[in-house]
Structure 1
Amino acid sequence: MPETLVLLHGFGGTHRTWDPVLPELDHERYNPLVPDLRGHGTKAGVRPISFDGCVTDVLAAAPDEFVLCGYSLGGRVAQHVALAAPKRVMRLILVSTSAGISDDPARAARVAEDERLADELTRMSIEEFADLWMANPLFEATPAEASRWWREDLLRSDPIALAEVLRMIGGGAMVPLWDRIGTLTMPVTIIVGGRDTKFIDYAERFAQLLPQAEVRTIGGAGHGLPREAPRELAGLIAGTEG
């Protein structure tokens, strides 16, 4: 019987983030479950937008035992899920993510940056947000064809809701989990793009703290792994590629 594989998307996306990855998975091994996170897509109107709320949604939708994979913001939510219900998460896969900003001045700067963007979002159309977000240097390696459907996915959310996401569960708002993450004992795979320097550093920090962690790098890729390298990502999720 296939294992349930819960896949959590990043900021601004929806469950459709995983569309390029799903066909590459072994469906005899995995039964994918791809929810929208609060403040995104079909859950744009669900409140409160909080890590606890997102954890509640995931645990309510998932079976008693499941494999959990989160990308970027979804990876931070996935860590909260694993810490809340460690006996239910059989394996944890963290893609292009971190456990928060532990340096106080850096976190304060990120709070200010997120607040500035959130304020801009309240005055933007969703089309303007899509153009702004796709121009982020973090995503410069996105292939042209992937950019087309990625923009379509970004248009499925609401800028007002995304502004609240930034304020409530953004990178600055999140209380760092580095001092708690080492309590997780399930196998953990950390996946990062070879060009994603900032998140390579985070991956190495995860590896030092997690007792059963392995780091896997997709050479030549940046931050947007589900759209930049879906086949390679699917292989690493399944543990069949090195």
Structure 2
Amino acid sequence: MNITLAHGFTQTSRSWADVVEILTGHGLDTAGITAVDLPGHGDSAAVRADLWGSAERLVAAGSTGTLVGYSMGGRVALHAALRHRDAVERLVLIGATPGIADAAERRARRAADEALADHIDGVGVAAFIDEWLTNPLFAGLTDETAQRADRLRNTAAGLSSSLRLAGTGTQEPLWNRLADIACPVLLIVGATDRKFRTVAESMAELLPDATVAVIDGAGHSAHLEQPAATVQALLDWLAERP
């Protein structure tokens, strides 16, 4: 079984280390697990790409099989599933959204993303990461699970470009295209992540084959806060879709 992993904003492929370790502990071959550095992040810090371009790179880096994306990586994975139905056999989204449906809200978010990108360029990576991790979305993270050292591997230019090119504000909403995704979809969300739990439940109503898995004791970063429970939810779902 092949599994490709796509991280969230400010993270890198290394953020999946605990998940990969647990997966291999359950007998999965590490050769079949690919964690990708998305454009603007990690070893791809110098790469510039929008969501569709990021999706192309994600599919090229992985193999036909299961695509797992968290937050920003989930939005990239969703684009990949829409464009490469032959390559994405199963889709797993953790705390992800198809975009902002309301045009005015989307414009406001885009302006906010642009302002934040300018701020990153101004203050640098270290100061921004410390600010970013105070976001209430990440309240469930500890000093260890926040993976600050890994996030500091990124560059200000890379992160700001990611916001400008692939931020939620730039994304055309995909709500009306969810019905086109024929592959099975697992929507993982932390029990205390109320906003994205509502999003997941709304997505499940539109997707042809969707399952929602709620992870107890977790917020937005379910796979970081409760990696064992998140992996178990994934494995239980995969067992029903070999």
Say which SS state the counterpart of residue 67 (structure 1) adopts: strand
- Structure 2 unaligned segments of length 5 or more: list them: none
- Identical-pair percentage: 39
Contact 2:186 2:237 (8 Å CA) reproduced: no
Say which SS state the counterpart of residue 98 (structure 1) adopts: coil
In 1: Cα distance, 2:59 partner to 2:160 partner: 25
CA RMSD in angstroms comes to: 1.5
- The reply to whether residue 32 of structure 1 matches residue 33 of structure 2 is yes
- TM-score where L is the length of structure 2: 0.93
User: What do the CA deviations read for 1:197-227 (whole angstroms, capped 9, x no partner)?
Assistant: 1101110111000011010001221111221
Say which SS state the counterpart of residue 28 (structure 1) adopts: coil
In 1: Cα distance, 2:140 partner to 2:170 partner: 27
In 2: Cα distance, 1:234 partner to 1:18 partner: 11
Residue equivalent to 1:137: 136
In 1: Cα distance, 2:34 partner to 2:46 partner: 21
Residue equivalent to 1:117: 116
In 2: Cα distance, 1:137 partner to 1:42 partner: 28
Say which SS state the counterpart of residue 213 (structure 2) adopts: strand
Residue equivalent to 2:81: 82
In 2: Cα distance, 1:220 partner to 1:234 partner: 14
Residue equivalent to 2:43: 42
Letter in 1 for 2:172: V
Match of 1:214 among 206, 211, 214: 211
In 2: Cα distance, 1:160 partner to 1:41 partner: 12
User: What do the CA deviations read for 1:222-241 (whole angstroms, capped 9, x no partner)?
Assistant: 11122101111111222269
Residue equivalent to 2:11: 13
- The reply to whether residue 52 of structure 1 matches residue 52 of structure 2 is yes
In 1: Cα distance, 2:29 partner to 2:46 partner: 34
User: What do the CA deviations read for 1:148-179 (whole angstroms, capped 9, x no partner)?
Assistant: xx101110111121111111110111111111
Per-residue deviation, 1:29 = 6.2
Residue equivalent to 2:200: 203
* Higher relative helix content: 2
- TM-score where L is the length of structure 1: 0.93
In 2: Cα distance, 1:53 partner to 1:200 partner: 28
Superposed counterparts of 1:156-167, under 5 Å: 156-167=153-164
Q: 1:135 to 1:240 in 2, by over 3 A?
A: same
Residue equivalent to 2:191: 194
Per-residue deviation, 1:27 = 3.8
Contact 2:217 2:226 (8 Å CA) reproduced: no
User: What do the CA deviations read for 1:109-156 (whole angstroms, capped 9, x no partner)?
Assistant: 211211111110111221111101111111011123213xx1011101
Aligned length: 235
